[in-house]
Structure 1
Amino acid sequence: MKKKLVVGLVGLCLAGMSAPAFAGQWNLNPRACPDLREDRADRREDRRDARRNYGYRDRAEDRWDRRDNRRDEAVTICPISAFYYEGNRREARRYAKARPPLAWDRRARMYYRYNNGIKIYVRT
């Protein structure tokens, strides 16, 4: 029993030492992404439209706008310049002009990256 415990503790220590201690991360600046700015403006307009009711045609138009906005929000496309690297002060110079790691989506034929669980397509 003690042998298994010691082996487990040694494995945990080695796993902790193999990972970089001060690793930075790539973040998304939502203000630099035009698609996210447009989505935010559409949501604001939807809230404003919901306060006014001018009859059946207005309600139908509001429904169509909301459906269109949901479809538009389902796919987010941002330029690569919207991503920035946040690391410690030594890494800042090294990764100043680096690109974030991206994956390729064959169906959409675009690069993408997950940010907070949301798939964001990157226009390079």
Structure 2
Amino acid sequence: MTSADPNPRSRPATDAADNAPEAPETAAAQVTPERPEGPAPLGRPGDRLRIRRSVNYPAFLITGAILGFIVGGLIELFGPSAQLTDAGEAIYTPASTFSYIGVLFAMAGALLGAVVALVLDRRR
């Protein structure tokens, strides 16, 4: 290999600085982990911590709304039939009454689900 070799990686290292062993880190260069900002932890080591578990509110609301819609739909299907006008036509179609009552009971079910979730959350 000649000294005019354009690729420096292919040349062997002849510099003294390249062959010197790495210096060990000094004490000043070592980084010690710092304590996180904020208040000191409460209690002593070995104490048991009580973890507060919360109720999943969206699950109660959605479940209540779905159950309310189902109950409203069943009441509409098995309840009294629609009133008729003088001409013999129904005032509301069965689909519209099913929708109205279903949505009404879905809102009531969601409200009831929220109350149940609040009661369960306060008991813990």
Question: What's the TM-score, normalizing by structure 2?
Answer: 0.32
Of Structure 1 and Structure 2, which has the larger fraction of its residues in helix?
Answer: 1
Query: What is the TM-score with the length of structure 1 in the denominator?
Result: 0.32
Q: Which structure shows the higher strand fraction?
A: 1
User: Which of the pair has more CA radius of gyration?
Assistant: 2
